[in-house]
Chain A
Amino acid sequence: MTTPDLDTLAALTRDYAAFQTRKSGLATALGGLMAVVLAVGSLSPLFMGARLGHRLFLEYLVWTPLLWLLLKGLLARALYRGAGAVKALPDGAYERRRWFWIFGLAMFLLSVGLSGLYAFARGLLQAGAARDACVPAPPLWLLAMPPVYLLAMPWAIRGIEEARVYAVLVGQSVLWLLPYFLFYFKAPAPPLRTGWGLFGDLLGVSILVLWYLIVVWGALAMVRGWKEHRDFRRLLGALP
């Protein structure tokens, strides 16, 4: 038997287990890339009005987190399970940090939902179909997708990096669905008279700040994911 010393054996096992249960390597990089592509793509004037089939392209963005989850599963199976499955020891502090991200996404979705309700309640947005809306009516099931993603998060997402990627992708899909709903449920009165001006300005600035944060975070996630992947290759090479 040729094996490294006992400390190395334990460290290799812990690192390998971390990859199986908490890290996602290339999936993190892929999530970062998807976030950057969506953010940069949104700058294109074609992005908002583009159609795919009979539907608006924006409608398909709600599937981005699900697509990433599927790719993450495939990548984990193809790249990170070759030497057998290992479950990591439970870590309370790590678990708390993961729940922090789940809670963060919940708060974001709640604030978007409440802002929408506020806008309808104040009459800033008009309920029902706008007669001269420039886009087809958005299917209402789209509104159910973000809560569904949130409910799936504790089971589908195991690591903190994964939680960040998922939270950003779900948040982004919600952000890019907003214009779709805003085009349809448009303001019935001139903005300044209804107070939409200040609300709209705040919303605009928030979205701009979020846009920059997403691009910077996405670039960092690509680097981190690639580094994790290289660490895993090194770890596999270190196994006896």
Chain B
Amino acid sequence: MPSPKPDLHAILDLDRTIHEPARLAILTVLAAAEEVEFLFLQRITGLSKGNLSSHTQKLETAGFLETLKAFRGRIPVTSFRITGEGRAALQAYHRQLRALLPKEGKP
């Protein structure tokens, strides 16, 4: 039986906003909680402040997360929350990637 032709379009269809490792890590963390403060996100992803801000802005522009600004006493606190769209996109990305990866035991 001839092996099925690899579907290159499936690889190209991967959501590039999520595919970037830092943004994937950010969305994974946000999907595991209801609301995450900037400080924790920075600590757990190991990103610099500037880098994290730039990635979260891109995710917010794509509609995958929302930014929440508040004050703790006089200190401004920034938190993030994944949107329904972001959660759906992350699940779709996982499904796509799993389908593309070789099955266990096969090269």
Contact = CB atoms under 8 A, between A and B. Distances in A.
Does chain A bind chain B? yes
A16 B25 CA distance: 16
A1 B42 CA distance: 11
Contacts of A83: 39-40, 43-44
Interface stretch (B1-9, B26-34, B59-67, B99-107): B26-34
A239 B35 CA distance: 18
A12 B31 CA distance: 12
Task: Determine chain B's interface SS by DSSP, over half rule.
Answer: helix
A6 interface: yes
Contacts of B43: 83-84, 239-240
B71 to A, nearest CB: 13
A14 B28 CA distance: 11
Interface centre among A85, A88, A90, A239 (most CB of B within 10 A): A85
A1 B29 CA distance: 15
B44 A10 contact: no
A11 B24 CA distance: 15
Contacts of B35: 85-87
Given A1-B22, A1-B25, A6-B28, A88 B33 contact: yes
B44 A239 contact: yes
Contact of B45 (A1, A16, A17, A88): A1
Contacts of B25: 1, 3, 6, 9
Interface of B: 21-22, 24-25, 28-29, 31-47, 77, 79
